[in-house]
Amino acid sequence: MSKRKQHAPEFKAKVALEALKGETEQNLGLMRRLDEQFLETPFFGVRQMTWHLRNDGHLVNEKRIRRLMRVMRLMPIYQKPNTSRPAKGHKTYPYLLRGLRVDRPNQVWCSDITYLPMRRGFLYLVAIMDWHTRKVLAWRISNTLEADVCVEALNEAIHKFGPPEIMNTDQGAQFTSFAWTDRLRRSGVRISMDGKGRFLDNIFIERLWRSLKYECVYLHAWETGSEAKAGIRKSMTFYNPRRRHSALVGKAPSLSNGRWLKRALGAAQKRDTSTPTCSRGTCNISKVIRIS
């Protein structure tokens, strides 16, 4: 297989799907343990995580932990700049939020993907969040890491609220893909990307994952995708209108932007005149399981 093919989004999605089907019960248990530990020590790389699991009595080596962390999309924080590159052929963008005062809704959005453990497998969750209000604007659950799932969530958020001024993500293959960046450019959105290995650049959505997992995911052992979707929907319903945030002066995300919402909805059609379309080869979603 050529190097070029190995870096194609379709190949990456196939690898994720095969990994989902082929993990043993022991590996699934390790993945859950990795996920829990990563929330506590996001600066643990492969070596530190391997040592930690060995101290807990798990017979693991670095090769195994490296593969599982890659499948789970766990990228540790680095104190020094990480020179790792995104998928070959994908363009990256500078980080635009350094020194920026974010003081209004729809100024900056952020997006990220996280791993969801289940009783007999795992899924991936993507969310779109408003940086200022902390409101989750849209989300999707899937069994693969294809960019199209992220684009679906993005389309929903733009349709409901109009496009933001800036979208910030990490440099993952989904967010450097043509399907994602083209959708943003056609809507007039400036693209911002974290430094590689610096999840603190997208800290608010990382806090969402932490809250979601401790308050919902780890309390259940879902059997099916439908159960997972129902659980996440219930948690999101609580998070947006009810959960108080200190940065919002004790207000919930949905309560902090009432007057703005009317203006945003009225301006949505003016700002976003593009039609959600996909380029050739990026919308082949037959392999992706939509959780309904």
SS3 of the chain: helix, strand, coil, percent, to 5: 45, 10, 40
How far, in Å, CA of 81 to CA of 79, rounded? 7
**Judgement on whether residues 194 and 241 belong to the same structural domain of the protein:** yes
The pLDDT assigned to 197 comes to 52
How far, in Å, CA of 100 to CA of 288, rounded? 37
- Asked if the model's pLDDT at residue 289 lies above 50, the reply is no
The pLDDT assigned to 198 comes to 57
- Domain range for 221 is 108-271
The pLDDT assigned to 196 comes to 61
How far, in Å, CA of 235 to CA of 233, rounded? 5
Q: Is residue 257 included in any domain, yes or no?
A: yes
The pLDDT assigned to 120 comes to 79
**Judgement on whether residues 120 and 254 belong to the same structural domain of the protein:** yes
- Asked if the model's pLDDT at residue 184 lies above 90, the reply is yes
Q: Is residue 14 included in any domain, yes or no?
A: yes
Share of the chain above pLDDT 90, in %: 39
**Judgement on whether residues 117 and 37 belong to the same structural domain of the protein:** no
Please state the rounded mean pLDDT for residues 203-230: 84
How far, in Å, CA of 144 to CA of 124, rounded? 7
Please state the rounded mean pLDDT for residues 219-224: 83
- Asked if the model's pLDDT at residue 267 lies above 70, the reply is no
Q: What confidence category does residue 199 fall into, taking pLDDT thresholds of 50, 70 and 90?
A: low
The pLDDT assigned to 200 comes to 58
Highest mean pLDDT among 6-10, 14-18, 81-85, 130-134: 130-134
How far, in Å, CA of 139 to CA of 141, rounded? 7
The pLDDT assigned to 69 comes to 93
DSSP per-residue letters across 187-232: TTPEEEEPPTT-GGGGHHHHHHHHHHHHHTGGG----SHHHHHHHH
Q: What confidence category does residue 218 fall into, taking pLDDT thresholds of 50, 70 and 90?
A: confident
Please state the rounded mean pLDDT for residues 113-130: 89
Beta carbons of 128 and 239 less than 8 angstroms apart? no
Highest mean pLDDT among 17-21, 172-176, 262-266: 172-176
**Judgement on whether residues 128 and 53 belong to the same structural domain of the protein:** no
Please give the helix or strand (H or E) that residue 137 lies within, else none.
Answer: strand 136-142
The pLDDT assigned to 137 comes to 96
The pLDDT assigned to 91 comes to 87
Q: Is residue 142 included in any domain, yes or no?
A: yes
**Judgement on whether residues 66 and 154 belong to the same structural domain of the protein:** no
Q: Is residue 8 included in any domain, yes or no?
A: yes
Q: For residue 227, give Cα distances in angstroms to 21, 24, 223, 291.
A: 18, 21, 7, 9
**Judgement on whether residues 119 and 249 belong to the same structural domain of the protein:** yes
The pLDDT assigned to 126 comes to 95
- Asked if the model's pLDDT at residue 246 lies above 70, the reply is no
Ramachandran angles phi, psi of 209, nearest 5°: -60, -40
Radius of gyration of the chain (CA): 19
Structure tokens at 57: 């009595």
Q: Is residue 99 included in any domain, yes or no?
A: no
Pick 8 or 113 by higher pLDDT. 113
For the chain, the average pLDDT equals: 76
Beta carbons of 240 and 136 less than 8 angstroms apart? yes
When divided into structural domains, the chain yields a total of 2
DSSP per-residue letters across 87-138: STT--------TT----STTSEEEEEEEEEEETTEEEEEEEEEETTT--EEE
**Judgement on whether residues 245 and 176 belong to the same structural domain of the protein:** yes
Of 18, 44, 72, the last residue of a domain is 72
pTM of the shown model: 0.64
Q: What confidence category does residue 7 fall into, taking pLDDT thresholds of 50, 70 and 90?
A: very low
Q: What confidence category does residue 82 fall into, taking pLDDT thresholds of 50, 70 and 90?
A: very low
The pLDDT assigned to 58 comes to 92
Ramachandran angles phi, psi of 146, nearest 5°: -65, 145
Please state the rounded mean pLDDT for residues 162-168: 97
- Asked if the model's pLDDT at residue 114 lies above 60, the reply is yes
**Judgement on whether residues 134 and 242 belong to the same structural domain of the protein:** yes
Q: Is residue 129 included in any domain, yes or no?
A: yes
Q: Is residue 7 included in any domain, yes or no?
A: yes
- Asked if the model's pLDDT at residue 270 lies above 60, the reply is no
